[in-house]
Amino acid sequence: MNRLFEWVCGTLAALALFCIMVLTFFDVGGRKFASASIPGSLEVTELLMVIVIFAALPLVSIRREHVVFDSLDHVLSPLLRRMQAVLVNLVCGGLLMALAWLMWRTAGEFAAAGETTAQLKLLKAPFIYGMSVLCGLTGMVHLLRSAMARPDPQLPQADKP
C-alpha cells in the first residue's frame, strides 16, 4: 500500500513537473521565434506548480525528508527525543488536517460560486479539492508517525553518561 501511495504521488508530481518543462520550452520558443507566447501559460504553470507541491508533500513526510533542526538532539535522551517526535508529528498532523478541512470548505465555496481562473476560465475548485486531499493525507502520515512514537533514525543518538 505504501509503495502504491508513493508511486501515485511521485508520478503525479513528476508528470506535472514535466508538463511545466514542456510548456515553458514551447512558450519561450514561441516568444523567441514567433514573437507570440502561449495564451494562459502562466495560469497553467501556476496550477501545475500546485500539483507538484501538494503531490510531493506526502512523499516528503513519508520519507522523512523535511528540513531538520537537530542542534540539540545529541544532548537529549532517547525518551525526550521520542516525546519530541510525538509532539512535533501531532502538531504537524493536526495543523495539516485543519488546513485540509479549510481547503475542502473553500473548494466547496468556489465550486458553488463557479470560480474560475482569470484568463483560461478553468474551474479552481477541482485543484483546491486535490490540494485538500493531499494535505489531509500528509496530515495522516504525521498522525501515524506520532502513533509509532519513534525518533527519526537519521538523527544521532544521545551520548550515554
pLDDT at 153: 53
Is the pLDDT reported for residue 65 higher than 50?
yes
Split at pLDDT 50, 70, 90, the class of 99 is very high
pLDDT at 160: 41
Residue type, position 80, single letter:
L
Is the pLDDT reported for residue 161 higher than 50?
no
Q: What is the mean pLDDT of the chain?
A: 90
pLDDT tens column, 51-64 = 999 999 999 999 88
Is the pLDDT reported for residue 39 higher than 70?
yes
Region of 114 please: left (phi>0), alpha (psi -120 to 50) or beta: left
Between 159 and 115, where is the model more confident? 115
This prediction has a pTM of 0.84
Between 88 and 124, where is the model more confident? 124
Is the pLDDT reported for residue 89 higher than 80?
yes
What is d(CA 105, CA 86) in angstroms, rounded to the nearest whole number?
Answer: 28
Across residues 46-53, what is the average pLDDT? 97
| Cβ atoms of residues 123 and 111 within 8 Å | yes
> Could you tell me which of 79, 73, 86, 67 has the C-alpha nearest to residue 157?
73
Is the pLDDT reported for residue 157 higher than 60?
no
Split at pLDDT 50, 70, 90, the class of 2 is confident
